[in-house]
Structure 1
């Protein structure tokens, strides 16, 4: 299958390597063009770690080329790039294509649904609760893939497209997808923001000093308890909206192939096996710059809408804002564009199920 990948970072490279090895034809587009300049010159993309491969990918010069003639368009950018990418591809998407968002953030699927409805175009939009791979980009042509996840939560907009979305993802990436009950479940299924908040907050000076430190190694019992408490808040919000989501214990066990135990114990086992990963070595990390505005802020907003306390999430947003001197809630450019203002819980459930139509996408 032909797959246009929007993004040329660690996730985009890992996705391209996986697809190429599975016999598909990935095309990579970097919005800035900087990360694909060497690849465009014919250099091979080299993956190491959980995926070992080397191949020369096709490189798209712009969004139109990234979308043209693709069976699937896969968004693999940080959350702060989602709106920009959706604005770029929406004029070029056509009926018969499928869009996959890996991973979904801040109701972006509804924003894209709104853009397409204004054109009178309808395509299945598949939202993943997390990414297929984890890892780190080591150069403009190399990625080290830390792990390939065994299970990924999935939903579609509109919800009636779930069969098509599940089938296409399974054909591309194998039998690893768990259907969830709509976009609200996916909006509350991405554990990266809460986990990265606890890890970054408790290791902030390491990040600021540029130290090299083991991430799993430093999920100590105290940090593990903080992550578990954050998870309890998220689970309470999901329960209030009547959706089922994976727990943090299931997440670590299934994603990183360790027996279920406390969060700290699972991270220590990952570290002992050499799969604990390396923590961020800069304050300019997606753990904060992406996950706070596009992960913690939407969860806190859903909690407020449901009338559920989320003091840890709200405190994390405030503490990071103070430490960075930034208004992270104001940096989310998706939420104001989605059209959630004035919606109640039931209205939001209906919109998350049906998506926008030409009549409602004003």
Structure 2
């Protein structure tokens, strides 16, 4: 429970931001929420908060729901960023002159070494405030946005991780927010959180193999319809390449079936069985992508698969399956995700060895 004194501002009022308002609000946090799109916050402003179904407490109050970034940031202790990873550099530049000493920025999610990207953009914009930046490796809640001022909350992940830049600040950052995120645990460094963000595998694999479903007229459940056994074979092949990269960089992580067992208690199941169960439990309300411009593709290729493939090259590893998936995404969209995504240059890691990257990641 919050002590009721520190104000937390959530930046980004889409599904993720609304879920944060709902759970943190009923847990007693003092909240503000900001979005560049007033339609995302107007309902909460009019209602004074967010109506909630699925929890014992049915309303989460907010002290401010606004498009005014400066007003939302001023005097807040914690800023939780719930925007697409592609938007992190732009948002950091906008925040640079507004930040105050002692504030904590939490990227929920970081989308592969988000604090590196965020800090670089802040520095380039001349930010002088002494702040902490940390990232979560997963979004903690499953929910459905029923209306602009109403959500249905389902479940909370049992375990996910936080890492800060530098890594020596992780425990300090965790201690500041863990009362509101009971399943949150400290990671050793940002590569641990980066390499456990599985959106690049689950989302992208399910998108490129089901374009007809994505661009078709009918609504569908992403995991129930797209995750057939053959697609799961593709996901497992991509996952083996992810695990090889993690091992090369000295990161201990688990395969996707084990992650599902730890996160959702889906034990003694094949990947197909686990994802089908997830479709009718935790993600039964989740809206499925209806365009190739959805974040499952545009964000998770550039902020998930591209840096993973780039790190593999540093380690001298081949990633033929992941490379093929990126190329298919390029062809489907007419984009070049290697150039626009979180490549080594975007992460500030160009020309570095494994040891040098590890040192940069930990902030040494």
Give the direction of change, closer, same or farther, for the CA distance of 1:144–1:81 in structure 2 (3 Å limit): farther
Partner of 1:315: 324
- The 2-side partners of 1:274 and 1:328 are apart by 30
How far did residue 334 of structure 1 move?
Answer: 8.1
Query: Which residue of the other structure, out of 34, 40, 44, is the alignment partner of 1:35?
Result: 40
How far did residue 205 of structure 1 move?
Answer: 0.6
Partner of 1:330: 339
Are the aligned partners of 1:6 and 1:76 in contact in 2 as well (CA < 8 Å)? Answer: yes
How far did residue 138 of structure 1 move?
Answer: 4.0
Question: Number of residue pairs matched?
Answer: 354
Q: Confirm whether residue 131 of structure 1 aligns to residue 131 of structure 2.
A: no
- The 1-side partners of 2:107 and 2:98 are apart by 17
How far did residue 288 of structure 1 move?
Answer: 0.6
How far did residue 238 of structure 1 move?
Answer: 0.6
Give the direction of change, closer, same or farther, for the CA distance of 1:273–1:11 in structure 2 (3 Å limit): closer
Give the direction of change, closer, same or farther, for the CA distance of 1:51–1:290 in structure 2 (3 Å limit): farther
Are the aligned partners of 2:37 and 2:67 in contact in 1 as well (CA < 8 Å)? Answer: no
Partner of 2:362: 353
Give the direction of change, closer, same or farther, for the CA distance of 1:37–1:275 in structure 2 (3 Å limit): closer
Q: Secondary structure at the match of 1:36?
A: helix
Query: Which residue of the other structure, out of 119, 144, 149, is the alignment partner of 2:157?
Result: 149
- The 2-side partners of 1:211 and 1:87 are apart by 39
- The 1-side partners of 2:318 and 2:56 are apart by 41
Deviation string, structure 1 residues 293-348 (Cα, Å, up to 9, x no partner): 11111111111122121111111111011112222233337864542222222222
Are the aligned partners of 1:14 and 1:47 in contact in 2 as well (CA < 8 Å)? Answer: no
Are the aligned partners of 1:321 and 1:328 in contact in 2 as well (CA < 8 Å)? Answer: yes
Q: Which runs of 5+ in 2 are unaligned?
A: 1-5
Are the aligned partners of 2:52 and 2:60 in contact in 1 as well (CA < 8 Å)? Answer: no
- The 2-side partners of 1:20 and 1:162 are apart by 24
Are the aligned partners of 1:83 and 1:108 in contact in 2 as well (CA < 8 Å)? Answer: no
Partner of 1:358: none
- The 2-side partners of 1:212 and 1:42 are apart by 30
Partner of 1:9: 14
Q: Secondary structure at the match of 2:241?
A: helix
- The 2-side partners of 1:335 and 1:95 are apart by 30
- The 2-side partners of 1:186 and 1:273 are apart by 25
- The 2-side partners of 1:40 and 1:285 are apart by 27
Q: Confirm whether residue 279 of structure 1 aligns to residue 288 of structure 2.
A: yes
- The 1-side partners of 2:80 and 2:237 are apart by 33
- The 1-side partners of 2:279 and 2:194 are apart by 29
The alignment's TM-score, normalised by the length of structure 1, stands at: 0.89
Partner of 1:303: 312
Q: Confirm whether residue 240 of structure 1 aligns to residue 241 of structure 2.
A: no
How far did residue 292 of structure 1 move?
Answer: 1.1
Are the aligned partners of 2:21 and 2:60 in contact in 1 as well (CA < 8 Å)? Answer: no
Q: Confirm whether residue 48 of structure 1 aligns to residue 56 of structure 2.
A: no
How far did residue 61 of structure 1 move?
Answer: 3.4
Are the aligned partners of 2:80 and 2:105 in contact in 1 as well (CA < 8 Å)? Answer: yes
Q: 1:210-289 to 2 correspondence within 5 Å?
A: 210-218=217-225, 219-273=227-281, 275-276=283-284, 277-289=286-298
The alignment's TM-score, normalised by the length of structure 2, stands at: 0.89
Q: Secondary structure at the match of 2:269?
A: coil
